[in-house]
Amino acid sequence: MFLENAKKSGCIEVICGSMFSGKTEELIRRLKRAQFAKQKIATFKPSIDTRYSEFDVVSHDSHSISCTPINDPKLILDIDPDVQVVGIDEAQFFNESVVEVVQELANKRGVRVIIAGLDTDYLGKPFGPMPALMAIAEDVQKVHAICVHCGALANHSHRLSASKKLVVLGEKDTYEPLCRECYQKAMAEDNE
């Protein structure tokens, strides 16, 4: 009797870090564990992210899970009422409305929301809605890559191209993970 009347409790989890730090890998791992536990999941990503696949979230290690590409985070609210876990990849590319969306999912619908995204852009500044998402999350996990210059923990995504656009999709030919010291040196060289 008690379990039948138990209130569903939602939560928000954020996985953040630099390029090549394993954010998407960790998102996929958590979603697959939920599937294994027979929980109904729904996964989303920005439709601009077509690097590996249009209809899958794919890690740099080629692990994947099917998803729905969307332009507007509010479309996430159209999920089936039976969904227990929502995954969102590349959240930094969404506008600030994603914050309200995940709050509604967790607070009003009792959904576990797992979000992955870059915490900072190529200039080292907080990226899009990520600071707000981290502030409202019950759990924030910062993952790190390894600096390709010195081998220390990397927390910066250094852009190798000369583009000044904020959003430039790319891989190892466009970005490299760097530690703070190597990033500062690289940025100084870029600005010479």
For residues 107-116, average pLDDT: 97
Residue 191 has pLDDT above 80, yes or no: yes
Distance of CA 72 to the CA centre of its chain: 16
Tokens of 58: 């794919």
Q: What confidence category does residue 1 fall into, taking pLDDT thresholds of 50, 70 and 90?
A: very low
Please list the active-site residues: 90
For residues 123-130, average pLDDT: 96
The answer to whether residues 119 and 16 touch, using CB atoms and an 8 Å cutoff, is yes
Proportion of the chain above pLDDT 70, given as a percent:
90
Q: What confidence category does residue 49 fall into, taking pLDDT thresholds of 50, 70 and 90?
A: confident
Which residues, 6 or more positions from 70, have their beta carbon under 8 angstroms from its beta carbon? Answer: 44, 45, 46, 47, 76
CA distances from 56 to 50, 87, 128, 150 (A): 9, 12, 22, 33
Distance of CA 46 to the CA centre of its chain: 10
The answer to whether residues 25 and 62 touch, using CB atoms and an 8 Å cutoff, is no
CA distances from 79 to 86, 91, 158, 186 (A): 9, 17, 36, 43
Q: What is the pLDDT of residue 7?
A: 54
For residues 15-30, average pLDDT: 95
Lowest mean pLDDT among 11-25, 42-56, 68-82: 42-56
CATH 3.40.50.300 is the classification of domain 7-144: yes
In the chain, where are the structural domains located? 7-144
Alpha-carbon span 28 to 154, nearest angstrom: 21
